[in-house]
Amino acid sequence: MIQIKKLTKVYPNGYELFKELDLFIGENEFVFLVGPSGSGKSSLLNIFFLLESITSGYVYIDNVCLNHLKSYQIPYLRRNIGFVFQDFKLLLNRSVFENVAYALRILNFSRRQISSQVRQVLDLVGLQHRIYDISGNLSGGEQQRLCIARAIVNNPAILLADEPTGNLDPDASEEIIQLLSKINARHTTVLVATHDQMIVNKMRKRVVVLNKGTIIRDQQFGTYAEVLSV
């Protein structure tokens, strides 16, 4: 599903983040990427979502090699990957409905399909009652749930989440992580970059630990405490 082989990333200033990194994430897996700030968690997600380029190596998403993608092909790839941003990246002056519907309009869905699919996904994230509210008026937790709704509305095979609970209180964080778990149960591969010890410990899923661009531990049913012990 997601595979990287000998991935190297060197920034223009000469700083080498990843050096010949290898990783495989299978279909329907739920994986936490953890590690200190600057360890490369977000950069790795950005590379998968084609927000950053690589220096050498190979990155495969769903058997598509990202190295050979032309810039006009990037939007097509992004339509198959959902991305949950820490800062939500919502169209704040538009309604909840419009924010989610936008992803479907790109795919030229009919009005009826859009209406039904948006309602369905808003129901899943618990925002059905706020469907016509302006997204800028939602609370942080609600905005994050809206961001997740937008990311999954076209049933992507992969969901990437970069610090999805970073700006949320513990209760809202709990809700978000339950939601991600629910999405994973619908056969979506979920990859979450996080600092949130509580959710990692609670979920006990596969944990990949990064430090200075190197994978120092890759453990099934891991906890944050075990990471710290490293």
- Summarize as ranges the residues that interact with another protein (CB under 8 A): 11-12, 49-53, 71-72, 74-76, 78-79, 83, 85, 89-91, 93, 102-103, 105-108, 110-111, 150
Burial of 129 (C-beta count, 10 Å sphere; 0-12/13-18/19+): exposed
What is the length of the chain?
Answer: 230
If the CB atoms of residues 105 and 187 are measured against another protein, the closer one turns out to be 105
**What value, to the nearest 5°, has the Cα angle with vertex 191 and ends 143 and 69?**
100
Tell the smallest beta-carbon distance from residue 192 to another protein (Å).
18
Burial of 11 (C-beta count, 10 Å sphere; 0-12/13-18/19+): exposed
Tell the smallest beta-carbon distance from residue 51 to another protein (Å).
7
Tell the smallest beta-carbon distance from residue 58 to another protein (Å).
17
If the CB atoms of residues 82 and 222 are measured against another protein, the closer one turns out to be 82
Q: Which of 228, 116, 37, 96 is nearest to 217 (CA)?
A: 228
If the CB atoms of residues 63 and 71 are measured against another protein, the closer one turns out to be 71
Helices (H), 126-169: 140-152
Tell the smallest beta-carbon distance from residue 212 to another protein (Å).
20
If the CB atoms of residues 72 and 132 are measured against another protein, the closer one turns out to be 72
